[in-house]
């Protein structure tokens, strides 16, 4: 009699363990989905803001180039000046890309995945 009770109890415990593992897997899938969705939405937001900032900088650059060109009486030189400024900025970003680009993006992604 005790053997049958032990077998029944063991079988019941195994069933509960299976249910528990199944629920844990579902929980981790939901948690991973939530974190992935949050990270993706943040990256999309950053992309949209970056695009809009690019447009602002583009039109502001054109306006500044025409303004400087009217003062210098040479639009070509004004656009060349702005090109030089942007080339200098690109060089600085290239040499300091780890501090300026890589670390902030990596930090944001890790924070969103672990939060």
Give pLDDT tens digits along the chain (115 positions).
566 676 667 777 888 888 999 999 988 888 888 888 888 888 899 899 999 999 999 999 999 999 999 999 999 999 999 999 999 999 998 998 888 888 888 888 787 777 6
Distance between CA atoms of residues 66 and 70, nearest Å: 6
C-alpha to C-alpha distance for 48 and 51, rounded to whole angstroms: 5
Cβ atoms of 79 and 69 within 8 Å: the answer is: yes
DSSP secondary-structure letter at 115?
Answer: -
pTM score, two decimals?
A: 0.65
């Amino acid at each position: 009699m005790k053997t049958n009770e032990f077998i029944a109890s063991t079988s019941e415990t195994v069933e509960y363990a299976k249910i528990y593992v199944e629920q844990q897997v579902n929980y981790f899938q939901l948690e991973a989905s939530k974190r992935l969705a949050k990270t993706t939405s943040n990256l999309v937001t950053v992309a949209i803001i970056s695009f809009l900032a690019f447009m602002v900088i583009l039109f502001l650059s054109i306006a500044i180039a025409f303004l400087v060109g009217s003062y210098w009486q040479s639009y070509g030189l004004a656009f060349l000046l702005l090109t030089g400024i942007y080339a200098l900025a690109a060089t600085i970003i290239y040499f300091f890309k780890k501090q300026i680009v890589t670390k902030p993006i990596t930090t944001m992604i890790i924070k969103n995945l672990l939060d």
